[in-house]
Amino acid sequence: MSDQTPQQNPATPSAEALPKAYDPALIEQKWASYWLDQHLFDVPTPEPKSPGAPSIASSAMGGNEEPNRAPSRPSGGPREAEKGRANAFVQLLPPPNVTGRLHIGHMLEHTQMDILTRWRRMSGDTAVWIPGTDHAGIATQMMVERQLKSEGKSRTDFSREDFTARVWEWKQEYGSAITDQMKRLGASVDWSREYFTMDERLSIAVREAFVHLYEQGLIYRGAYIVNWDPILQTAVSDLEVENEERMGKLFHIRYELADGTGSITVATTRPETMLGDTAVAVNPSDARYKHLIGRKLRLPLTQREIPIIADDWANPEFGTGAVKVTPAHDPNDFAIGQRHPEIGSISILDKTAHIDLPGSPFHGLDRYEARERIVAELEALGLLVEIKDHPMTVPVSQRTSAVIEPRLSLQWFLAVNKIPSATTEEAGNTDRAGNTDRAGNTNRAGNTEGAGGFSPLNTPQHERGFSPGTVTRSSIAQKAIAAVEQGHITFTPDNHRKTYMEWMSNIHDWCLSRQLWWGHRIPAWHCNACKKITVSRDAVHACSGCGITDITQDADVLDTWFSSGLLPFTVFGWDGSNTLTPDLAAFYPTQQLVTGFDILFFWVARMIMLSTHFMLDVPTRDAGTGELKARTLADAVPFRNVYIHALVRDADRQKISKTKGNVIDPIEIITKYGTDAVRFTLASQSSPGTDIAFNEARTEGYRAFANKIWNAARFLFMNLDRAREAGYTITPPNPGAPFVTASSSRVGSTTPELPDHTPLESRWIFARLHAVSAEVHRALTDYRFDEAASAIYQFFWGEFCDWYLELVKLRLLFDIPVNPSLSLNPDTAVTLASLVTVFEAALRLLSPFMPFLTEEIWNALYNGAPPTKSIALTRYPQPSDFPSSDLTLTAMATMQELIAAVRTLRKDLAVPEKESTPIALHADARVLALTGAHADMLGRLARVSAIEFSTAPLTGNNTRSTPSFDVAVIYERQIDIPAERERLTKDLAKYEKGLQAAERQLNNESFTAKAPPHIIEGLRKQSTETRTLYDKTKSALAALD
RNA sequence: GGGCGGCUAGCUCAGCUGGUUAGAGCGCCUGCCUUACAAGCAGGAUGUCGGGGGUUCGAGUCCCUCGCUGCCCACCA
């Protein structure tokens, strides 16, 4: 094979044309660009179907010739339920950040998705895998700001418009790095459907979604405590905060009563917040403080008077039992403030976490500097009672690692636990800080008592369920819970379902706004006169309240996850009008989501919430009549199954991180071993529940596997060359035909079953192919990539190469007549046909796992003129394609056992490898017949020169026994007696133990009474066999002496 | 404070609803350049299945308990 384009392959496959060793670098690039250029995996928008003809299956495959499209998919697959729709297999690629570069985790995710996609596609489904990238608000803005910094500039040197223009420039230049890498890797995605989350089309959908939610009263704006990142100077959601265990200090501070008659000591870990204290709370049942409730305290350092209030939140067990209340800088204190509005709140920190109290001596100080100064002054005043070490969890920003400061600020929220309003009249119009007009619209305080809003926490389980007909009466969270509870969405592994449910049942309102410049800007306009907020899908030029034109658009952008949460339906053309677009009709819901645990809440949960909420309003088509009808929750879900993949760690099981310097660059590994080998490594390690320790040694092993396949191909081509030289026409099989055999002069015609004279090894390899393809289907249906990979590996190497190819040499290498007028020896003819057929099928079986290698060899097999554009468009092997019989399997197993026994004996006797020896054999009639018929196998694979059949059992030296035969190698040298005795003694002990265990069981009446018959039967058989072996070993041992 | 995993051969991992004498790859030992492949072929050694207890005719597999070891969630000053 040369580096020519695939269409111009050499006219004939030839062993000489293939390099001796497999070199992935020579072929991968070629095929990656071929697949891309041919738009092989692009799926056009299906034709809208008129009622009564709902299927779109045939139109969706994109104009390929497909002479052998699979007529039907294997029965019992998960998509049997997908009645009335095309056999569509749709997946959304978790969109990588535009700032991203491919890492080994992506590689795992993409490998799994690609295997599923290719397998489904080859099994006859319309497989659509949709790629795209995420604008990644914070990450991208940080990236560009860093770039500006290197130029000595900062964001604030630019206008908002100029800065975002700058980000777009950056995106154009660097934003495709990760998709370029994907293209190189040959991921079989539909590039014609590639999107960017800030594309015009998707931006419109985002605005539509926002406006809809606002009109339903589910989006509100208000002043609440949010997680504030003082470096990014924006609010971040709970999910973007990590909690770190740190040793901090607990400061006990004495607050004197205003009238000087006493004091209360409070405890705090953040003494600087006392500047914003507006009360001290004690538990109403706390006898120590009961008499002080309602009295005033003089707040040290400021001399402000603050009340002592009663609130259940104060825990008498903790610290002194009295807690200072800072409503503007602590979520719990904020909640207290809600219950005691009279105490008010005082903000003391600015956006950068510096003290913002003009006139105060601490004004302008950084929060930690202020803490030191305040502690020092309190100490000087004698008000610092004590300082204790105190283990605590500190909230830290995921992005910047800055300590998060809870801060009161005006933000937009999505009310996830609120029942949507039917009309727009009730729509939220909170427009002033801290003044929300609907009790339910609270965020963190929402679940505390007194807030009065709907909360899943205080809703009985049975009321939380979703039932048809109550769709619009259910909250977003209720629908998301019901979708999973009712089994419309499943998780693999299943334990993630529980995690999801826990989280969803305790969910808080979602802070949607970010104080950034890069992202989807919130479609709300503030009137500078009457203060009314106008939320609109279109640009607003005048206030909807007072009509004046002095209005400004809200400065905030939406959380990145808002737009990605909409993707399952916006990628299919949802535009807010609730019409069933052709793509939505054909492809929604998607079947499969493959993603990591780390974005289960960020993304998966949000997709479920937003998709079920919006898609319930989009009609669907009735499977029978084709008429439009209302969608149920079952069809509103964004996907049917969520497969959560493992985390890839380094070889020492360490988490991969840049700071640790143990980053595994997939491109580097790929350069070293080839994409196919890396893919196979990841697939074979993909077992549920465990993280993957990425071990290069293993990849090395799979590169050897690729090489093995490569050389098997060379062997095949060599034989095809020989046959051709001898004048025979070789036509490779038609992929997807049940199987192929040969007439005397033509290889490649199809017959329904194997010809009578088909040799044992060929019958056997077909039977194995039957079993293996069944196993692979089963494994992939269960997402057991590891089991599928290992079944194929074992088959290809351990059976096809180690046994079949070796046996096939019996028929091929010595037996092709050179005179074309003679007919080909029937053995040779059928063997050539079988060989080509099995090999071709094995390539198809392997193709989803190793697409490059299989594409290359498969094309070579057809002399560069294959029946379809790609092996990826052929039919995936089905068990029913291959004849199988148990008789064949046992016969072959016996031959293998016999060959292995002779090999072992020869090894023990140190017979030179090239020397053939006679053997003696004692066996039952079946084995004798078998051996007689297949002496040639023994001759070739075990170097047996002659067989002496013995009627008496063999117990002498140089003997090996199994339950069904004794075999001895007749040789001048005798076996090493001490070593043999040791081995036999060991065996004897083993058999004895096994025998005892088996007999104990069999003599146990409870066992025979309770165990299932096949187990008893099996144990009986085993017991008999072990008895035989025991006896044989015992006499062998005796014979030694 | 809750919750979820993992602990099986020197290493990395399989072992499905309990059922015959626990497997694979790598590594290790021995012999082979056998005309597809030395990135190979053939043969071989290696396990108190984390400890203890229980259920059962039968436990790596189920239950309890203890021990390491990861991860997730959480508003206790």
pLDDT tens-digit map of A1022-1033: 888 888 888 888
- Which nucleotide across the nucleic acid strands is nearest to A694, CA versus C1'? B12
Which segment of A445-449, A539-543, A787-791, A1030-1034 scores lowest on mean pLDDT? A445-449
pLDDT level of residue A743 (50, 70, 90 thresholds): very low
Distance in angstroms, CA of A1007 to C1' of B16? Answer: 24
Distance CA A402, CA A40 (A): 47
Most confident of A359-368, A617-626, A862-871: A359-368
CB A835 under 7 Å to nucleic chain B: no
Distances (CA, A) of A1024 to A925, A964, A984, A997, A1011: 18, 11, 19, 13, 18
Distance CA A799, CA A769 (A): 10
CB A267 under 7 Å to nucleic chain B: yes
- Kindly tell me if the per-residue pLDDT of A938 is higher than 70: yes
What per-residue confidence (pLDDT) applies to A64?
A: 36
Coil, helix or strand at residue A729: strand
- What is the pLDDT averaged over residues A633-638? 93
Closest residue, CA to C1' of B6: A690
Which segment of A626-640, A831-845, A871-885, A977-991 scores lowest on mean pLDDT? A977-991
- Which nucleotide across the nucleic acid strands is nearest to A901, CA versus C1'? B43
Distance in angstroms, CA of A647 to C1' of B65? Answer: 31
Distance in angstroms, CA of A303 to C1' of B9? Answer: 73
Distance in angstroms, CA of A677 to C1' of B29? Answer: 29
Closest residue, CA to C1' of B31: A907
CB A1026 under 7 Å to nucleic chain B: yes
Q: Does residue A755 have a cis bond before it (omega within 30 degrees)?
A: no
Of A514, A617, A651, A676, the C-alpha closest to A138 is A514
Cβ burial, residue A315 (10 Å; 0-12/13-18/19+): exposed
CB A721 under 7 Å to nucleic chain B: no
- Which nucleotide across the nucleic acid strands is nearest to A1005, CA versus C1'? B57
Distance CA A250, CA A961 (A): 78
Torsion of CA A359, A360, A362, A363, to 10 degrees: -30
CB A327 under 7 Å to nucleic chain B: no
CB A847 under 7 Å to nucleic chain B: no
What per-residue confidence (pLDDT) applies to A1035?
A: 85
What per-residue confidence (pLDDT) applies to A227?
A: 92
Distances (CA, A) of A305 to A267, A278, A374, A708: 18, 8, 18, 84
Closest residue, CA to C1' of B3: A499
Distance CA A889, CA A882 (A): 14
CB A528 under 7 Å to nucleic chain B: no
Check residues 201 to 220 of chain A and report those whose beta carbon is under 7 Å from nucleic acid strand B: none
Handedness of CA A79, A80, A82, A87 (dihedral sign): positive
CB A690 under 7 Å to nucleic chain B: yes
- Which nucleotide across the nucleic acid strands is nearest to A647, CA versus C1'? B71
CB A672 under 7 Å to nucleic chain B: no
The answer to whether the beta carbons of residues A223 and A436 sit under 8 Å apart is no
Distance CA A527, CA A555 (A): 13
Of A872, A883, A790, A789, the C-alpha closest to A838 is A883
What per-residue confidence (pLDDT) applies to A738?
A: 37
Distance CA A777, CA A77 (A): 9
Distance CA A1002, CA A996 (A): 10
CB A701 under 7 Å to nucleic chain B: yes
- Kindly tell me if the per-residue pLDDT of A799 is higher than 70: yes
The answer to whether the beta carbons of residues A383 and A443 sit under 8 Å apart is no
Q: Is the pTM of this model over 0.90?
A: no
Coil, helix or strand at residue A958: coil
Distance in angstroms, CA of A684 to C1' of B68? Answer: 28
Closest residue, CA to C1' of B7: A690
- Kindly tell me if the per-residue pLDDT of A610 is higher than 60: yes
- Which nucleotide across the nucleic acid strands is nearest to A24, CA versus C1'? B39
Coil, helix or strand at residue A592: strand
- Average pLDDT value over all residues in chain A: 83
The answer to whether the beta carbons of residues A578 and A618 sit under 8 Å apart is yes
Distance in angstroms, CA of A73 to C1' of B18? Answer: 34
CB A904 under 7 Å to nucleic chain B: yes
Distance CA A153, CA A132 (A): 31
What per-residue confidence (pLDDT) applies to A77?
A: 35
Most confident of A10-19, A202-211, A947-956, A994-1003: A202-211
Of A739 and A903, the structure prediction assigns the larger pLDDT to A903
- Which nucleotide across the nucleic acid strands is nearest to A899, CA versus C1'? B42
- Kindly tell me if the per-residue pLDDT of A453 is higher than 70: no
- Kindly tell me if the per-residue pLDDT of A425 is higher than 60: no
Most confident of A428-442, A699-713, A812-826: A699-713
Write a three-state SS string for A56-97: CCHHHHCCCCCCCCCCCCCCCCHHHHCCCCCCEEEEECCCCE
CB A288 under 7 Å to nucleic chain B: no
CB A982 under 7 Å to nucleic chain B: no
Q: Enter the tokens of residue A385.
A: 């009672």
Distance CA A484, CA A498 (A): 10
Distance in angstroms, CA of A392 to C1' of B68? Answer: 25
Which segment of A49-53, A392-396, A415-419, A845-849 scores lowest on mean pLDDT? A49-53
- Which nucleotide across the nucleic acid strands is nearest to A1017, CA versus C1'? B20
CB A316 under 7 Å to nucleic chain B: yes
- Kindly tell me if the per-residue pLDDT of A423 is higher than 70: no
Transcribe A341-395 into DSSP letters.
GGG-----B-TTSBB--TTSTTTT-BHHHHHHHHHHHHHHHT-EEEEEEEEEEEE
pLDDT tens per residue across span A350-396: 999 999 989 889 999 999 999 999 999 999 989 888 998 888 888 98
pLDDT level of residue A953 (50, 70, 90 thresholds): confident
Distance CA A715, CA A721 (A): 10
Of A453 and A910, the structure prediction assigns the larger pLDDT to A910
What per-residue confidence (pLDDT) applies to A996?
A: 81
Distance in angstroms, CA of A704 to C1' of B69? Answer: 34
CB A448 under 7 Å to nucleic chain B: yes
Distance CA A925, CA A668 (A): 59
Of A873 and A247, the structure prediction assigns the larger pLDDT to A873
The answer to whether the beta carbons of residues A921 and A948 sit under 8 Å apart is yes
Coil, helix or strand at residue A573: coil
CB A813 under 7 Å to nucleic chain B: yes
What per-residue confidence (pLDDT) applies to A277?
A: 92
Distance in angstroms, CA of A838 to C1' of B53? Answer: 54
Which segment of A69-73, A143-147, A315-319, A564-568 scores lowest on mean pLDDT? A69-73
pLDDT level of residue A76 (50, 70, 90 thresholds): very low
Check residues 787 to 806 of chain A and report those whose beta carbon is under 7 Å from nucleic acid strand B: 787, 790, 794, 797-798, 801-802, 805-806
Coil, helix or strand at residue A308: strand
Return the residue matching tokens 């993949």: A645
pLDDT tens per residue across span A79-135: 333 434 558 899 999 999 998 888 888 999 999 999 999 999 999 889 999 999 999
Which segment of A374-378, A456-460, A999-1003 scores lowest on mean pLDDT? A456-460
What per-residue confidence (pLDDT) applies to A400?
A: 86
Distance of CA A316 to the CA centre of its chain: 47
Of A873, A618, A954, A686, the C-alpha closest to A70 is A873
pLDDT tens per residue across span A252-279: 999 998 888 888 999 899 999 999 999 9
Number of helical (H) and strand (E) elements in chain A, helices listed first: 30, 34
Return the residue matching tokens 């933000």: A411
CA angle A218, A224, A229 (to 5 degrees): 110
What per-residue confidence (pLDDT) applies to A6?
A: 40
CB A472 under 7 Å to nucleic chain B: no
- What is the pLDDT averaged over residues A609-633? 89
- Which nucleotide across the nucleic acid strands is nearest to A600, CA versus C1'? B72
Distance in angstroms, CA of A237 to C1' of B73? Answer: 15
Handedness of CA A388, A272, A361, A337 (dihedral sign): negative
Distance in angstroms, CA of A372 to C1' of B42? Answer: 76
- Kindly tell me if the per-residue pLDDT of A736 is higher than 60: no
Distance in angstroms, CA of A1029 to C1' of B60? Answer: 27
Distance CA A280, CA A303 (A): 14
Bases of chain B below 7 A from a protein C-beta are: 3-6, 11-15, 19-21, 24-27, 30-32, 34-45, 56-58, 70-77
CB A22 under 7 Å to nucleic chain B: yes
CB A1038 under 7 Å to nucleic chain B: no
Residue A413 DSSP symbol: E
What H or E segment, with its residue span, contains residue A645? strand A639-645
- Which nucleotide across the nucleic acid strands is nearest to A1010, CA versus C1'? B57
- Which nucleotide across the nucleic acid strands is nearest to A331, CA versus C1'? B75
Tell how strand A405-414 and strand A510-511 pair up.
antiparallel
Distance in angstroms, CA of A906 to C1' of B31? Answer: 11
- What is the pLDDT averaged over residues A801-827? 74
Q: What percent of chain A has pLDDT over 90?
A: 42
The answer to whether the beta carbons of residues A261 and A292 sit under 8 Å apart is no
CB A257 under 7 Å to nucleic chain B: no
Contacts of A710 (CB under 8 A, 6+ apart): A18, A21, A22, A853, A857
Distance CA A467, CA A479 (A): 9
- Which nucleotide across the nucleic acid strands is nearest to A703, CA versus C1'? B39
What per-residue confidence (pLDDT) applies to A731?
A: 67
